[in-house]
């Protein structure tokens, strides 16, 4: 049996299911996978040191999650012009000539959206949070044909920078707003791309009352999968796209980069949902 050494660098990832996803994907292909959770603060280290250790430590590839998706970008060769425009990386492959960067959050979000909404265009969308995953999702919304994007972030300068890049890349109207409740008025889609709602960051980024009139929601958080944001949306009758779907699809797409081997995607989904295995 061949072996594959993988890992995940991020904070607050103790409950990540990525190790299980890739372990199960490996079993389908007769590959023994080791997948390490690498938390810089827990290792009494910093991101740069942990990343360098992966590059030198025999890893085939690593996933990158909050809050390092933009930080890793300058360390990599990125050949895809769309991924260069996104400016954030969640999948790194270590090659003989240096590490290569990919973004499967972008393709994963588009697959998750289509799984629930099909070919229906997103319409006008409020997106709260313009960090690494937010950038990937925003460019995904362009690809899905969104007509208007309303960006809200505590760091307005970050939102403004993303807005300029989105305007240059597509035809959607893009505006930056300061108040999420005001920005939700008349929006078809509501998106959370902040860590609010994640284990350790309890709460919701948008008051339940501001959801009425929208059609669909997406939450990038998947631990837990049933965030307060999504519970409020379901109670309001909105179509729900969970962060679990993004997690699943970005993992499927990352696996292709890591191994180049095929997957029975339905079998992997069923195994993930039914397994209580701890990896």
pLDDT in tens, 32-85: 999 999 999 999 999 999 999 999 999 999 999 999 999 999 999 999 999 999
CATH classification number, 2-103+245-274, choose in 3.40.50.10860, 2.10.60.10, 2.40.30.10, 3.20.20.70:
3.40.50.10860
Q: Do domains 2-103+245-274 and 106-243 have the same CATH topology?
A: yes
Query: How distant is the alpha carbon of residue 219 from its chain centre?
Result: 10
Q: Is the pLDDT of residue 7 over 90?
A: yes
Residue 200 pLDDT greater than 80, yes or no: yes
Averaged pLDDT, 222-236: 96
Token code pair at residue 168: 């240059």
Q: Tell me the pTM.
A: 0.96
Of the residues 59, 66, 68, 113, which is catalytic? 68
Helices vs strands, H then E, count in the chain: 10, 11
Q: What does the pLDDT read at residue 127?
A: 98
Question: Who has greater pLDDT, 201 or 146?
Answer: 146
Torsion over CA: 117, 120, 123, 129 (sign): positive
Helices 18-28 & 265-274 angle (0-180, nearest 10):
130
Q: Tell me what pLDDT residue 1 has.
A: 73
Strand partners, 149: 125, 174
Active site residue 248: no
Computed over every residue of the chain, the mean pLDDT equals: 97
Q: Which helix (H) or strand (E) holds 38?
A: strand 31-38
The pLDDT tens digits for 151-160 are 999 999 999 9
Task: Please report, for the chain, the start and end positions of each structural domain, with discontinuous segments joined by +.
Answer: 2-103+245-274, 106-243
Q: How far apart are CA 172 and CA 274, in angstroms?
A: 40
Fold of the CATH domain 106-243: Rossmann fold (3.40.50)
pLDDT band at 128 (very low <50, low <70, confident <90, very high): very high
Question: What is the predicted pLDDT for the residue at 236?
Answer: 97
H or E stretch covering 14: none
Above 80 in pLDDT, residue 243? yes
**Is the pLDDT at 182 greater than 80, yes or no?**
yes
Q: CB–CB of 222/246 below 8 Å?
A: yes
- State how far the alpha carbon of 234 is from the alpha carbons of 57, 116, 203, 217, 227, in Å: 45, 14, 16, 9, 11
């Amino acid at each position: 049996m061949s072996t594959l050494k993988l890992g995940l660098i991020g904070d607050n990832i103790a409950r990540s299911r990525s190790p299980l996803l890739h372990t199960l994907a490996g079993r389908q292909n007769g590959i023994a996978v080791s997948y390490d959770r690498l938390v810089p603060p827990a290792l009494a280290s910093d991101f740069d040191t942990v990343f360098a250790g992966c590059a030198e430590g025999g890893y085939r590839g690593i996933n990158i999650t909050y809050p390092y998706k933009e930080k890793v970008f300058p360390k990599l060769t990125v050949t895809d012009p769309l991924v260069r425009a996104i400016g954030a990386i969640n999948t790194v492959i270590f090659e003989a000539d240096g590490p290569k960067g990919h973004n499967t959050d972008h393709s994963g979000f588009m697959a998750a959206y289509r799984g629930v909404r099909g070919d229906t265009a997103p319409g006008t969308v409020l997106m709260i949070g313009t960090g690494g995953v937010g950038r990937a999702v925003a460019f995904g919304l362009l690809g899905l044909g969104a007509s208007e994007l309303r960006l809200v972030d505590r760091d307005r300068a970050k939102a403004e920078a993303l807005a300029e890049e989105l305007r240059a890349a597509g035809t959607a109207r893009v505006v930056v707003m300061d108040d999420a409740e005001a920005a939700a008025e008349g929006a078809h889609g509501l998106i959370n791309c902040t860590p609010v709602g994640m284990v350790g960051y309890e709460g919701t980024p948008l008051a339940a009352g501001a959801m009425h009139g929208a059609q669909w929601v997406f939450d990038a958080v998947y631990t837990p999968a049933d965030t307060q944001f999504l519970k409020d949306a379901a109670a309001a009758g909105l179509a729900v796209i969970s962060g679990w779907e993004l997690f699943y699809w970005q993992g499927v797409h990352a696996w292709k980069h890591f191994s180049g081997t095929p997957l029975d995607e339905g079998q992997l989904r069923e195994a993930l949902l039914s397994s209580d295995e701890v990896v």
